[in-house]
Structure 1
Amino acid sequence: MSKSLIIAEKPSVAADIARVLGNFTKHTDYFENDQYVVSSAVGHLLELAIPEEYEVKRGKWSFANLPVIPPHFDLNPIEKTSSRLKLLSKLIKRKDIDTLINACDAGREGELIFYYILRHVGTNKPVKRLWLQSMTPDAIREGFTKLLDNSEVQSLAEAAVSRSESDWLVGINGTRAMTAFNSQEGGFHKTTVGRVQTPTLAILVEREEKIKKFRPQDYWEIHATFAASNGNYNGKWFDEKFSKDKVNQELKPERLWEQKKAEVIRDKCQGKPGQVNEESKPSKEICPLLYDLTSLQREANSRFGFSAKTTLGLAQALYEKHKVLTYPRTDSRALPEDYIATVKDTVQSLGNTDYGKFAQQILASNWVIPNKRIFNNAKISDHFAIIPTSLNPAKLNEAEAKIYDLVTKRFLAIFFPAAEFLITTRITRVENEPFRTEGKVMVNPGWQAVYGKSAKLDDLEDDTTLAAITPGESVITEEINVIANQTRPPARFNEATLLSAMEGAGKLVEDEELRAAMSAKGLGTPATRAAIIEGLVFENYLQRVGRELHPTAKAFSLITLLRGLKIPELISPELTGNWEFQLRQIEQGHLKRTAFMEKIAAMTSHIVEQAKTHRGETIAGDFSLLKSPCPKCGGIVHETYKKFQCQKCDFALWKILAGRQFEIDEMETLITQREVGPLQGFRSKMGQSFNAIIKLTDTYEMKFDFGNNDENHEEVDFSNQVALGKCPKCNHAVYEHGLQYVCEKSVGATRTCNFKTGKIILTRPIEREQITKLLETGKTDLLTKFISKKGRPFSAYLVRNADGKIGFEFEQKAPKKTTETKTKQSKGKTASKAAS
C-alpha cells in the first residue's frame, strides 16, 4: 500500500501532526501508520558550498582568488545533523512512498529547508504543501483537507534560494575582500560583512556619530502658576507666531534661546492679572493595529526589556508548543476577509477566561463585523496578523504569559470603539504674553478599557486636576519662574527603536500604518531581524549596555572602511531595502530569480573590485586624538585607520590584536597605566576565544598576560594593594591578581591555599565591590548577563559555599499565590569552574 511522507521542520511539529492524525506507531525519529509516515528536519540540514571544481584550496583570503561567483552551488550536509538527513533520504527513497508533503514552517525559510532536502536526495516524487497558520488540532486537520500543489509555492522557493545565495555571495566575498584589505600589512584580521547585517550596523554607527558630534545648546522656558477662583493651575509661555522648522528640530514654541529675554517676560508678568480663554474639542483615538512579529518585538522590548530573539522564541513556543497563538513569523497586521467566523469563535473561547468580560462585550455588541482596517486581503502576505487561537493557555511560564497577554489584549481591543477624549486648551494672557495649559478628559475609554483605563481627567501638563474657570475670569500670576535647560543629543537605539528603523529601511517612522506600508522595503524580514541583531552582538560589532545598543570600535572601523572604499551597497539601508523588496517580488511572481541574481553578482564584483582598487591606500575617517601623551616622547597620539600613532616619534600600537579591536578608552588606559584588562574577545590562531590582560612593555610593545607567570617564582608583592576581604578557606587576604581574585597564599612559590575566582565568569566581568560583598556576607547582589555554555543569558547570585568554593544560586519567581521567594543552589558546579 502506498503512503505519503510528511516532513515537518522540527520534531515537535512532527509529533503534533502524528498525534492529530492518529493511529501511528513510533519508530526512531519517525512515526508511521497505514496512510502516512511522519518525520522532520531539525532546522537547516544543508548549507551552500562552492562546487569542488571552483573551490580554492589555498589562498581563499587573497585578492587573487576573488570574487568567487560559481555558476551554481552545491549543498553540503551540516555535520551535526547529518544523521537526520540520512534518515529523511532513506524515507524519501522508500518504494512505498509515492507522495511527499512539505509540512515545514509556512514561510520562506521553511520552504528553503524542504527544497534543499529535496534537491539533495534528487527525487521526482510529487510534492504537496501543508500550509498552517495555527497549530491547533482543528487547524492541522483542516490543513490536510486543503493541501496546496507544490507549483503554488514555487515562487516562494525561488525567493528563498535567491535569499540564501545572495547572502552567501555578498557575505563570503565581502568578508574575504575586507579581510584581505585589512590584512595587507601582516597578520590575519577577519572582517565580517553581510548583505543585511552591515547596513543595519551603519544605522547605529550614524546615530552614534551624531551623538558624538552633538553640542548642547542652552534654552529657557517660563513656567507660571495662576490663582483662579476654583484653585491654582499651571501654564507655560509659548510663541504664538512660531512655525515649525523642518531642518532644526530643536526649535519649539515654548523655548527661548536668550536668558535675558525670558527674564524680561518673567519680570513683566510677575504678580500681574491675566485673562483666560479656553476651548474644548472632542478627540478620538483608535486602537493600534494587530501585531506582526516586529511590532510585537518592539512592544515586548519597550515594556519588558525582552530582546527581539527572546520575543521570537516565546512567540514560537506559544504557537508550536502551547498552540495558543497563530503563526508568529509574519509581517502582516491584518486578517483575511473570510476570517470573521473564526474570529467570533476565538472571542467566544475567551469568554470563560480572565478576558471574559471584554470577550462577552464584543459578542453582545456585535462588534466583529467587516472592517478593512482589520480584515483586508490586500494587506496580507503569506501569513496574517498574530492573534490568539481558540485554545485556552495552560502552564505558561511568566515570560510566555506576558507575550500571550500582549497579543490577546490587542486582539480584543481592536474590535472596541475608539477611545473618546475632551481636550481642553487654555490660554492665559498676562501683559499680552500668552501661557498655554492643556488638559485631557477621557469621556469614553473605548478600546482602552481592555487595558484597565476608565473615564477620568488626565491633565497633560502634570498629575493634578485642571481647575475649572468661568468664562472671561481674571486670574493672578501667583508664581513665575525661568527654567534653564539644554538640548539633548539623539537617543541611542534600543532593540525596539532599531527594529522600527529596520522596518522603515533606516527611517524612524512614528506612524505605525505608514511604517507598515514601508515595511516591504525594510531591512530583513520579521523572522530574520532578531538573528541580525544577535549576529552583530556575536561578532562584537554591538554591545548591549542596559537596554541600549552601543556600536563598538570595530563597528566604526568597518563603516569607515566601507565609506572609504565607496561601497554604498553595504552601508545604505535604502539600497538593501530595495533588495528585500525584490525578493518579495520574486515570491509574488513579479520578478525573475535570474534577473535578481545577476544584480547580486554584479554587486559582489563591485565590492571586491573597490577593495582591490584601493589596496595600499590610507582610509580617511573621523578619527580621534588620544588625551594621553605618547609614553615614549610625550607627543600627541593620533588614531588612524589601522593604528594609534605618535605624531612626533615612531611609537605606534595596532588597533587590532588577536582579532580584537581596542576601544579608545582601553587604549588610553593601556598608555597611561601600562596595562588594561582583563579583556574579552581575543581569538587564537585555532579560532578559540580567550581573555587576557594586555601590558605595555618597556620597549612599547603589547604583550598578553594571563596571570599565571607566578607559578614557580618568588612570592607576589601585594603591598601596594588594598585587600578585598578574607579568604573563605584560610582567612588570609584576597587581592586582585592577573585575571583572577586570589588568596595571597594561593600564588607564588610557597602556595598553601587554592582559593581563586575569575574576574570574568561566563563572559560577565565581576566587579571588585561584588567580590568584597561575597567575602563579607557570603553572597553577591543578583548579577545579570551571565551567558551559559549554550549561549543563553541568565541571572544569578554568586555564593560562598561551606567548603569555601564559589557557586551559583538562582533566583526563583514566587508562586502566584504567595510572595515568598525561594532559591535553589546549583549542584556540583562552581563559579570558579565556570570561569576556567
Structure 2
Amino acid sequence: MTKVIIAEKPSVAKNIADALKIKNRNDGYYEGQNYIITWAFGHLLQLFDAKDYDSRMARWKMENFPFIPGNFQYKVKSSPKNKDYKDPGAVKQLNIISSLIKRNDVDAVISACDFDREGQIIGDTIIDSIHTHKKVYRLLLNEWTQEEVLKGLNSIILNKEMKPLKDAGISRQWADWIIGINLTSVATLKYQSGRGQALNVGRVLMPTLKIIYDRDKEIESFVPEIYYKLGAVFETRDGQKYEGNYFEDGEDKFKSDESLKAIEKILKTETGFVSDKKVEKKKEYPPYLFNLTGLQGYITSKFKGWTSDKVLRTAQSLYEKKFITYPRTSSTALEESLKGRTAKVLDVMKKGLPFEEEIKFTASKRIFDNSKVESHSAIIPTYVVPKKITGDEQLVYTAIKNRFLMQFMPIAEFEETKLTTKIHSNEIKGEFISKGRVQLVEGWKKLENTEMKEIILPQVSVSEDVAIHEYKISQHKTTPPKQHTERTLLRIMETCGRKLDDKSEERVNAILSGYSIGTPATRADTIKKLKDIGYIEYHNKNLVCTELGRRVVETLPVTELFDLDFTGKIEKKLYDIEKQKYSSEEFLEFIKSFTFTAVNKLKAEETVVLKKVDSVKKETEVLGKCPVCGHGIIEGQKGFGCSNWKSGCKFVIWKNDKYLAAMKKKPTKTMVKALLKNGKASVKGLTSKKGKKFNAILKYEKNPDNAYFTWKMEFSD
C-alpha cells in the first residue's frame, strides 16, 4: 500500500522525494513506489474572521465587544489580493491533498511539517479538514539530508502522540486571536480618528514595545555625573615603563578630585615599590553553539543592514536546502545521541582548512548535553556542503560553520599578570593596579581572525623599587545606557527580562522552562511588526519608540499587557500544555477572563486621539490598457494589475516577479507603461548570473496555449 507524506513547503517535499529517489512529479505532488509526497504552502487554513461567525461583526462597533466565539473554526486562507476571496492556490492544493488521501491505494498519511508548534498545526488542520479515517503518522526531523529522511521514515510515530504539541499550538493561535481581535478593535475605536491601519494591540507586541520605551525613558532621564581617576607611569631600574590606575577600597572612580590632588603632591617627591605580583594562566572557551537568538544577535550586531527577521529567513532557506539543522531552536547544546553524526559532519567541514590537524572531535559535555536541549538541538551544519548559495546565505552559513568548528579546536590560553604598586608613604592608603595579558595559545580564535590586544608588563620582582615617571588626574562623565539593538532586545525577550549571567545554568533553565516573550520562531516577526505598524523605528542599528509608540504605552490602561512577568507566564502556560502539566481548557478560560476584563477597562477609559488618519482619497493612476480585457492597469501593493479583477481578469505583473528578481530588477511604473503602450520596454542595469551588468529589451507576451504571460528578452543592435 501507499502512504501520503505532507511536507510544509514544496522545497521540503523535493528533499524527501530526492531522498527516496522519486523523480516523477505531477501537478502538486511527487509519486513513487510506496510513497506520494505532497505539500502545503505554510498555513493553507486560517481561523475564521469575526464576521464569519456573526455578520454584525463586519463593522466595528463598541457594543459588539468583547466577542469570543463558542467554537473556533477554520477556513481556506484568504487571497492576498482580496481578503473576501479564498486564495485560489490554497484551494487547489487542498483539493489535491484531499484527493490523494482519499485514493483507494492509500492506507496512511504522514505529516512531515516542521517539528514545532506551528508545523504541527499546519499539518493537523489540513488533515482534520479532510476527515480521514486512515492512520496518521508523524515524521520528526532536525534536518532534511537523505540519511536523516530515510532514518526518520523508518521510525515514524503515530500523530496522536503529538497531541500535546498540537494543543499548545492551537491554544497559542486561539489566544492571540481572542486578545488581538478584541483589544485591537476596541483600542482603535477608542483612540483612533479616521479609517486606516488599525491601532495594533497584541500579547507579544506590547511587552516588547515597553522594553524599548523603558530604555528610551531611562536615557532621557539620565543625569551624567562627574568622576575622577588617577593614573601613573612607573619606571623600573632598567628603564622599562608600565602604567597603573589608583585604587582605594577596590574603587578607582572618585566623586571629588580633592583627595587625588593631595596624593599628586606626595607623588612629586616619592618613589614606589612592587608590593604584589600575580601571574595566572587562564583558559578562554569558545562561545556556545548558536541557537536562533544567538545567531540573530551575532549577525545583526556584526553586519550592516541585517535584521533578525532577515537572519531567520536566510537560516530557514539554508535549512530547507539541507545545509544546516533546524534553525528555530532555543538550545545551545546537542543531544548526546548525535555524537556519531557530529563526528561525521566535522570530518567534512574541516577538510582543506590550514589548521585542519588542530580540529579534533571530542564528546565534551559542553557540546553534548541532553539536559540543555529542548525539542531541538543547537544549529550546526549538515554533511551536505553548499556549492552555490547567495551572498546572504554564505554569510549566515559561514557564521554557523565557524561556530561549530570552534567547539573542536584547542581552547585559547593566555597569561594574565597583575602588578600591585604601592608608594613609599603612609599617607597614601591605596595602591596602583596594572594588568598585562599575553596570548599563549590562539586555538579557536584563529577562526575569528581577531588578534588579542596584548599588554606586556616588564619583568619585575616583588619588593623591587620603581620610579614615578609621570602621573595625571583625569575627569570623566558617567554615560547613559545604550539604546536597544535587535541583539539586546532579543536577549531580554529570550529571558523575559531576567538579568542572568550568560554562563549561568539558571539562564539556560529559565529559557528551557518556557518562561519568555514569544518563541525563537516568533520574536523576529514581532520586532518587524512593531516597525511596520509605526510603533518603533531604526536609528542605524538602534531601536527607538516613535511618538505613536510612546503614546500607546502611556495611554493603554491594560497594564498587564506591558508586564514582562505576565507575558512570560502566558508563554510558560503554553509550554506546560506541551509538557502535559496544564490543560488547554484552563488556559483558554484564563485568556477569556483576561480579555473580558481588559475590554471593559478600555471601554471605561476617557476617549483620546492617539492616531489621526487623514481620509484623503488618492487618485488612482491608470498606467495603460489591459492586454486581456482592455480595462485600466493600476498599481497595487503587490503588483501592477487589471482594475477589472473583481470580474475575473487575472492580468498582473508582480512586483516580486521571479524572472526579473533573478536579474536583480523589479518592475517600475515607467517599465509597465512602456510595455502596455509599445509591447516592449528598454531596461538598463540588469545583472547576469555571473554578476555583470547589461541592458536589454523586455517583452511580456501571452502564451498561445494558455492564459499565462511570459517574459521575452531581446538585445538591441
Q: 1:392 Cα shift?
A: 2.1
Q: 1:518 Cα shift?
A: 1.8
| Structure 1 residue aligned with 2:315 | 315
Of 439, 454, 459, which aligns to 1:458? 454
Residue 538 of structure 2 aligns to a residue in which SS?
A: strand
Q: Distance in 2 between matches of 1:493 and 1:271?
A: 49
| Structure 2 residue aligned with 1:656 | 611
| Structure 2 residue aligned with 1:379 | 372
Residue identity (%): 31
Q: Distance in 1 between matches of 2:590 and 2:216?
A: 32
CA 407–439 in structure 1, closer or farther in 2 if over 3 Å, else same: same
Q: Any unmatched runs of 5+ in structure 1?
A: 243-252, 460-464, 617-640, 643-654, 660-683, 691-705, 707-761, 763-787, 816-820, 830-836
Q: 1:510 Cα shift?
A: 4.2
Of 593, 597, 613, which aligns to 1:602? 593
Post-superposition CA distance 1:559-593 (Å, at most 9, x none)? 1122xx2x232101121111111111111222211
Q: Aligned AA for 1:274? A: G
| Structure 2 residue aligned with 1:437 | 434
| Structure 2 residue aligned with 1:139 | 148
CA root-mean-square deviation? 3.3
Residue 439 of structure 1 aligns to a residue in which SS?
A: strand
Q: Distance in 2 between matches of 1:278 and 1:122?
A: 77
| Structure 2 residue aligned with 1:293 | 292
Q: Aligned AA for 1:217? A: E
CA 160–689 in structure 1, closer or farther in 2 if over 3 Å, else same: farther
Residue 339 of structure 1 aligns to a residue in which SS?
A: helix
User: Is the 2:296–2:308 contact (alpha carbons within 8 Å) kept by the matching residues of 1?
Assistant: yes
Higher RCO structure, 1 or 2 (CA under 8 Å, sep 6+): 2
Residue 219 of structure 1 aligns to a residue in which SS?
A: strand
Of 195, 198, 203, which aligns to 1:195? 203
Q: Distance in 1 between matches of 2:526 and 2:11?
A: 25
Q: Aligned AA for 2:404? A: F
Q: Aligned AA for 2:210? A: A
Q: Distance in 1 between matches of 2:50 and 2:225?
A: 60
TM-score (norm 1): 0.70
Within a 5 Å distance, the mapping from 1:739-818 to structure 2 comes to none
Q: Distance in 2 between matches of 1:548 and 1:689?
A: 37
| Structure 2 residue aligned with 1:168 | 177
Post-superposition CA distance 1:525-560 (Å, at most 9, x none)? 111111111111111111111111111111111111
How many equivalent residue pairs?
Answer: 630
Post-superposition CA distance 1:680-716 (Å, at most 9, x none)? xxxx578x899xxxxxxxxxxxxxxx9xxxxxxxxxx
Within a 5 Å distance, the mapping from 1:616-765 to structure 2 comes to 616=607, 642=609, 656-658=611-613, 684=615
| Structure 1 residue aligned with 2:400 | 407
CA 86–166 in structure 1, closer or farther in 2 if over 3 Å, else same: same
Within a 5 Å distance, the mapping from 1:88-103 to structure 2 comes to 88-103=97-112
Q: Aligned AA for 2:24? A: T
User: Is the 2:682–2:697 contact (alpha carbons within 8 Å) kept by the matching residues of 1?
Assistant: no
| Structure 1 residue aligned with 2:708 | none
User: Is the 2:286–2:407 contact (alpha carbons within 8 Å) kept by the matching residues of 1?
Assistant: yes
CA 220–807 in structure 1, closer or farther in 2 if over 3 Å, else same: farther
| Structure 2 residue aligned with 1:357 | 355
Residue 355 of structure 2 aligns to a residue in which SS?
A: helix
CA 329–59 in structure 1, closer or farther in 2 if over 3 Å, else same: closer
| Structure 2 residue aligned with 1:730 | none
| Structure 2 residue aligned with 1:468 | 459
Q: Distance in 1 between matches of 2:390 and 2:196?
A: 46
User: Is the 1:102–1:127 contact (alpha carbons within 8 Å) kept by the matching residues of 2?
Assistant: yes
Post-superposition CA distance 1:791-811 (Å, at most 9, x none)? 99x999xxxx9xxx9999699
Q: 1:490 Cα shift?
A: 0.8
CA 827–372 in structure 1, closer or farther in 2 if over 3 Å, else same: farther
Residue 336 of structure 2 aligns to a residue in which SS?
A: coil
Given the alignment of the two structures, is residue 423 of structure 1 paired with residue 416 of structure 2, yes or no? yes
CA 99–448 in structure 1, closer or farther in 2 if over 3 Å, else same: same
CA 335–544 in structure 1, closer or farther in 2 if over 3 Å, else same: same
Of 535, 553, 564, which aligns to 1:559? 553
Post-superposition CA distance 1:157-195 (Å, at most 9, x none)? 111111111111111111012112214x77778311111
Q: Any unmatched runs of 5+ in structure 2?
A: 80-86, 622-637, 639-654, 671-680, 700-717
Post-superposition CA distance 1:764-797 (Å, at most 9, x none)? xxxxxxxxxxxxxxxxxxxxxxxx87999x999x
CA 195–824 in structure 1, closer or farther in 2 if over 3 Å, else same: farther
Q: Distance in 1 between matches of 2:524 and 2:337?
A: 32
Q: Aligned AA for 2:393? A: E
Q: Aligned AA for 2:107? A: D
Of 224, 227, 230, which aligns to 1:222? 230
Post-superposition CA distance 1:43-88 (Å, at most 9, x none)? 1111111577842525753221111111211112113333322322
User: Is the 2:15–2:145 contact (alpha carbons within 8 Å) kept by the matching residues of 1?
Assistant: no
Q: Aligned AA for 2:150? A: R
Q: 1:417 Cα shift?
A: 4.9
Q: Distance in 2 between matches of 1:528 and 1:25?
A: 36
Of 237, 248, 264, which aligns to 2:246? 237
| Structure 2 residue aligned with 1:327 | 326
Given the alignment of the two structures, is residue 517 of structure 1 paired with residue 514 of structure 2, yes or no? no
CA 11–199 in structure 1, closer or farther in 2 if over 3 Å, else same: same
| Structure 2 residue aligned with 1:268 | 266
User: Is the 1:287–1:447 contact (alpha carbons within 8 Å) kept by the matching residues of 2?
Assistant: yes
| Structure 1 residue aligned with 2:160 | 151
User: Is the 1:270–1:480 contact (alpha carbons within 8 Å) kept by the matching residues of 2?
Assistant: no
User: Is the 2:22–2:30 contact (alpha carbons within 8 Å) kept by the matching residues of 1?
Assistant: no
Q: Distance in 2 between matches of 1:689 and 1:279?
A: 77
Given the alignment of the two structures, is residue 45 of structure 1 paired with residue 36 of structure 2, yes or no? no
User: Is the 1:59–1:65 contact (alpha carbons within 8 Å) kept by the matching residues of 2?
Assistant: no
Q: Distance in 2 between matches of 1:326 and 1:186?
A: 47
